[in-house]
Chain A
Amino acid sequence: DQQVKQNSPSLSVQEGRISILNCDYTNSMFDYFLWYKKYPAEGPTFLISISSIKDKNEDGRFTVFLNKSAKHLSLHIVPSQPGDSAVYFCAASDGSEKLVFGKGMKLTVNP
């Protein structure tokens, strides 16, 4: 049973445009959410996180939005750059030491 869902396997956008990556979760005990980026042949790299007490967190070109009532979060990348092309994983924690990951979404940013 997937507790963290990334329903779109891939997304393709033009350089300079906005990329929006979506994530849904089912476990209401999740209170901390993270996005990781993964390039081929490398391990996942932490990108940005958000606590359930917030609805938005911003770091440079990356913004994560959290809608607790809908159990939905999204990652916005503006402007998108070719170097952002990677697989993005949404992950969630219920306060334990365990992260629950989604299946990932492949983002391609075309020059």
Chain B
Amino acid sequence: DTGVSQNPRHKITKRGQNVTFRCDPISEHNRLYWYRQTLGQGPEFLTYFQNEAQLEKSRLLSDRFSAERPKGSFSTLEIQRTEQGDSAMYLCASSPYTGASEAFFGQGTRLTVV
């Protein structure tokens, strides 16, 4: 499978716990994006990497959120001290193109905070 891979697919955690998601982009795609989608809404931009550099962060990305992309390959998104409002689908996408065009999305990680 050469698509964008996200793990885990589902995560249930207790409020206050930390969680980490992983995204493996399509090989050689230098651009990687994280989006969050809540029920009834479209995906909302969280952050963007070009290679290993995190070049843009949304105001949605509070201090409890951190994303990394070491060596410009896979990426991780960590949420510390989770809150019920963090419950959402977290989508990763990658692209070989400049600008926000034709990004290829993974299946997402569904987070439920109880």
Number of residues from A at the complex interface, CB < 8 A: 24
Query: Hey, which chain B residues are within 8 Å of A36, CB to CB?
Result: 105
Is A96 within 8 A of B101, CB to CB? no
Structural contact, B40 and A103, CB atoms closer than 8 A: yes
- Are the C-beta atoms of B43 and A95 separated by less than 8 Å? no
CA distance A84 to B72 in the complex (A): 35
A43 near B56 (CB under 8 angstroms)? no
CB-CB contacts below 8 Å: B92-109 with A: 93, 99-108
> 1/0 per residue A58-93: CB within 8 Å of B?
000000000000000000000000000000010101
Nearest residue (CB) in B for A46 is B102
Q: Which of A43, A45, A95 contacts B99 (CB 8 A)?
A: A95
Q: Is B4 an interface residue (CB 8 A)?
A: yes
On whether the beta carbons of A98 and B48 are closer than 8 Å, the reply is yes
**Given the complex of chains A and B, what is the CA–CA distance between A89 and B43 in angstroms?**
9
**CA of A93 to CA of B33 in the docked complex: distance in angstroms?**
14
Contact among A45, A93, A97, A103 for B31, CB-based, below 8 A: A97
- Among B50, B55, B103, find the residue whose CB has the most chain A CB atoms closer than 10 A: B103
CB-defined contacts of B43 to chain A, threshold 8 Å: 44, 89, 99, 101
Contacts of B67 in A (CB 8 A): none
A19 at the interface (CB under 8 A from B): no
